[in-house]
Amino acid sequence: MNDYVRTMRKYIGNEIMFLPGAGVFIHKGGKLLLQKRKDNGCWSCHGGCMEIGETAEEAARRELYEETGLTARALAMFGVFSGSELIYTYPNGNRVANVSVMYACDDFYGEPAGDKDETTELKWFGFDKIPENISPPVIPALKKFLELYDNKNNARNHNNFPAEGRGNARIPLRSGAVAFLKNGGNYLLMKRADNRAILPGIWSGAGGGMEPPEINDPLAACLREIREETGLTECDIVSLGLRYVITRKKNNEIWQSYIFFGETNKTDVARTDEGEFFWVPENELLNREFSDTFALMLKHYVSRSAGDGAVYAGIAEHGNGAVYINWKRLEDPGVMG
């Protein structure tokens, strides 16, 4: 209990009070880290009340560290939860009306160690093995988290949270955003580390997967990925614009890539575990080993679209032993629907 809540309880006793707070769902590889609370014996995410003067994100980061010993590198906000479902009476009689800003995090460091004052146990659970005794105020956020982040099978039964419409075919959609930044006559390219699970040793721009809250805003995802991987901020970049949308099917998933091009006057970039960045002369751009779809995109960009400001879309297909893409310039057809 923070100092503000403790002081207010002296005046109002067990009467209901608003509690603005923030929480974090830590997940990795299809597993979710939960803590068992001392106060009600239920499993919960990591979080708590905001301190006076704190932002929601600052509170989430602080509570995560205090309760688990983990430090978040990046947080993705996926919802703000309030209303009757978040009104709760604790075993000691204290009544609260929670307003919770919730984040997801799969980019963190440290070793999990529970706060002995508030937690009796920390444990990883598979998305399909969520325990039944979830702390009631956390249930709405947990439902939403599983809906957004359980990409393997959104239709499966999460114990207390059965999915509706089971039996309907679902094809997961994976979206990513990548930027190719230019400084003078050079492009900023990353050579992916050899130990990466996806495309080791292959060249790319700065980018990665989009977080669920970014699905309708690929530019936001692109700027976040640039910041996380290079240290460059939006103020360091000019003329960043969408130039390509590539769609392809891989196994039973649909992958969609949003490709941006822009310029920067900065040449110093941060280090990243994803790989190593190099400034590559424009005339050597096509000499690097890219993925098949990016190689075709860059060849098209250099030969036709560089500088024309248009957005091109293409579907990657396979035929005659090779990958090919038929590019179409995206234009408003001027029709309804």
Q: Which residues are catalytic?
A: 121
The answer for residues whose C-beta is within 8 angstroms of residue 262's C-beta and 6 or more apart is 179, 180, 181, 182, 237, 238, 239, 240, 241
Given phi > 0 = left and psi -120 to 50 = alpha, else beta, which region is 99?
Answer: beta
For 62-131, what is the HEC assignment?
Answer: HHHHHHHCCEEEEEEEEEEECCHHHEEECCCCCEEEEEEEEEEEEEEECCCCCCCCCEEEEEEEECCCCC
**At which residue do the structure tokens 């190689």 appear?**
295
First-residue to last-residue Cα distance in the chain: 53
**At which residue do the structure tokens 């580390």 appear?**
193
CB count within 10 Å of CB 79 equals: 16
The residue ranges of DSSP E strands in the chain, in sequence order, are 17-28, 31-37, 43-44, 46-49, 71-81, 87-89, 95-109, 119-126, 173-183, 186-192, 203-204, 206-209, 237-250, 253-264, 275-281, 312-319, 322-325, 328-329
The answer for residues whose C-beta is within 8 angstroms of residue 33's C-beta and 6 or more apart is 26, 27, 46, 68, 112, 122, 123, 124, 125
DSSP state of 222: H
CB count within 10 Å of CB 278 equals: 14
